[in-house]
Chains A and B, each alone.
Chain A
């Protein structure tokens, strides 16, 4: 179970090894899409969501805006992902050094908790990056309207679960940041 709490100057996240692995895999998917952002799109749906048109009724203006700003937007999204990956890469399992209890009744060490702290700009990167990851998964799941949980069936079960988990993670992170906003 993911735990999120405000700490002095930051927000502390505690994730299990499984959650870290899922997050890393989704970040790889996102970085893959971002690196392909050069006009020939492998994943048009994800591109439309991650790079929306800035003009709704003016295709020429929309195309011009894309041409002028998409490189910068791509760089920002990639920098956010890298910042988040970097923070999580420093995660160490809680109680490392202590012998793990093992037995036939315990599952691997997959449930071990890893704690990291996001501070300052890293928090903005985290919120923006969690949004990008959810936009990516929403496209994969075909989510089109409010309350839509995405494609049914076993094939999409993992994506649905990850999408919901990332939403909860983002909600908790925003909640942890609210006292700081109120104090401004």
Chain B
């Protein structure tokens, strides 16, 4: 992700508040083996990714920022789990926002 626009103060401030001990993995139920993965890309702004996570998924500011940082640092983050249809709808929506997202299946 891109953070060339230092005019923004919101993202770094929020990022500093992330507790390193916070578990960033997403809990999932065994009967919902599909998931939505958002991938890092060099174009999208960190602030915009947080905005998308908050406005589309309704995540809290803290949760959205955690997931954005996970995408930024680890290259990807699981943002949802559920049925294949629901995950495909999320991926379609993410592509509409210009984010790179994929559907995949949890390992058995």
Q: Which A residues are within 8 Å of any B CB, using their own CB?
A: 49-57, 61, 65, 69, 72-73, 76-77, 124, 127-128, 131-132, 134-135, 138, 143-148, 164, 167-168, 170-172, 174-175, 177-178, 181-182
Whether B102 and A53, one on each chain, are in contact in the complex, defined by CB atoms closer than 8 angstroms, is: yes
Known: A55-B104, A167-B45. 11 other contacts (CB 8 A): A53-B102, A54-B95, A69-B95, A73-B92, A77-B96, A127-B48, A131-B48, A131-B97, A144-B42, A174-B51, A181-B55
5 A-B pairs with the lowest CB-CB distances in the bound complex, closest first:
A131-B98, A171-B5, A138-B43, A174-B47, A56-B102
List 8 A-B pairs, Cβ < 8 Å: A54-B92, A54-B95, A56-B104, A73-B95, A124-B55, A138-B42, A146-B2, A171-B47
Beyond A69-B92, A131-B48, A143-B42, whether A164 also contacts B4 by CB under 8 A is yes
Residues of B with Cβ closer than 8 Å to A?
A: 1-2, 4-5, 7-8, 10, 37, 40-45, 47-48, 51, 54-55, 61, 72, 88, 91-92, 95-98, 100-104
Interface of B is mostly: mixed
Contacts of B7 in A (CB 8 A): 168, 171-172, 175
